[in-house]
A and B are shown apart, each in its own frame.
Chain A
Amino acid sequence: MRFIETFFNTKVMADYMPDLIHAMGVTLGLAVATIITGILCGAALACLRVAGLKLVNFCIIVFADIMRALPPLVLILILFFGMPSLGLNISGWMVVYIVLSLVLTAFSEEIFWGGLTAIPAGQWEAGRATGLSKAQTLFYIAFPQAARRGIPPLVNRVLATTKLTALGSVIGVKEILSVSSSAQSFSGSATPLTMAAIAYLIIFIPAVIASHKIERRYHFAT
């Protein structure tokens, strides 16, 4: 009974429900913005790599390696605390959006590029032989196949990256975790944390189940 009073206190739930729903909106907005930017930029970089410019490719590889090797929280703190010294004041939301987009760009570039290198040379030759230009072959023949191959790992990576929006709580972005932790200290009850967990489950359980389905569906495409 005390357990329910502590973790599922209905009065506290009712008090903080509006704030939490607003925070879910912030988390979702941040997630959607990150996903769109990250996937588009990753696809663009992977296509750019096909052009085979040595210096450009070297830069892309170094960028992708660093973004995959660094903990995102380190980057978030560097940007958040470093930028004001340069006279650039960017909001916490912007910092998290930039960092997570960079991270997703790096991972999705590698996934798309992995897919592109797996396309048999005959596909390129056939495309060129029918009179398509190199760019047309890339956009109409190679990339769609590469993207299809990349869907299962991409879905997993997108989920992992969007879960990182919770890092915004460290620099005061009013997303689910930060709103519920401050509600927890105001109310002196653990209930807001339970609400946060439930809010994340509402968002991510369907996503995890969908990812299983997608993995099964595209399993034979790879």
Chain B
Amino acid sequence: MDTFIQTFFNLDIMSQAFPLLLKGAVMTLKLCAVVIVCGLAGGLMLALAALSPNRALRWSAIAYIDLFRALPPLVLLVFVYSGLPFAGVRLSPFMAVVIAFFLNNSSYFAEVFRAGINAVPKGQTEAARATGLSQAQALTYVVLPQAVRNVLPDLLSNTVEVVKLTSLASVVSLSELLYSANMARSVTYNASPLVLAAGMYLLVLWPLVRVIARYQRGLAVN
């Protein structure tokens, strides 16, 4: 029991590692902000393309979505970070992470948006058009608000997945939370900094997971 506490919950080591981890957490937050915003915007564009009447546009969007949903995000990241330099494209770890995760997240968010838009009855668009709104206005003011409300829990749980995903950036030595914790682990030969990092992830993500669970229960009951 004592070795267990010394290995995983060593408070001295945790307090030593804390400033480093805090710096890492700031980087994780920055990364999340960029990746989530880009993923949402890209996902919405892709969803609209996947529902467009133009056949070429529709099929290329669907192919893009399926392709990047089939590739593990870590494979994309390694490919962008260590593969692209062979083609003369050298990216900073931050850029590599943003690009790789954009490819992955935008296709996941696109699927969510597509389901949401599909669930809005066609009569809504028709009614909006009949009152004189343009196609774009009907989409922005009538269809999208309802679509987003339809899939809000899915959007939230996807966002949680994105935050969890940013921990993969440690593999390309971007100094985010997990990377900093693992650095502290290798210096101290002790797993406590990793446990501290786990605690910091839980602090942010547990409440979100609870909110999603409550939301889904509410839907199941209705």
Contact = CB atoms under 8 A, between A and B. Distances in A.
Interface of A: 3, 6-7, 65-66, 68-75, 77-78, 81-82, 85-86, 110, 114, 117-118, 159-160, 163-167, 169-170, 176-177, 181, 184, 189-190, 193-194, 196-197, 200-201, 204-205, 207-209
Contacts of B164: 69-72
B201 A69 contact: yes
B32 to A, nearest CB: 12
B7 A69 contact: no
A163 B69 CA distance: 10
B218 to A, nearest CB: 11
Given A77-B194, A197-B79, A207-B70, 5 more contacts: A69-B205, A69-B206, A77-B182, A166-B72, A204-B70
Contacts of B160: 68-69
A168 B197 CA distance: 20
B209 A69 contact: yes
Given A114-B220, A193-B83, A163 B78 contact: no
Most B CB within 10 A of own CB, among A78, A110, A170 = A78
26 contacts: A7-B87, A66-B202, A69-B202, A69-B205, A69-B209, A70-B164, A70-B198, A72-B164, A74-B198, A74-B201, A78-B194, A82-B7, A82-B194, A85-B6, A85-B191, A114-B216, A114-B220, A117-B220, A159-B69, A160-B161, A167-B168, A177-B74, A184-B82, A196-B79, A204-B69, A204-B71
Given A71-B165, A77-B185, A82-B7, A200 B87 contact: no
A197 B68 CA distance: 10
A124 B170 CA distance: 49
Interface residues of B, number: 53
The 6 closest A-B pairs by CB, nearest first: A82-B191, A204-B70, A71-B167, A190-B86, A69-B205, A163-B72
A204 B202 CA distance: 30
Given A167-B74, A181-B78, A197-B75, A74 B217 contact: no
B99 to A, nearest CB: 15
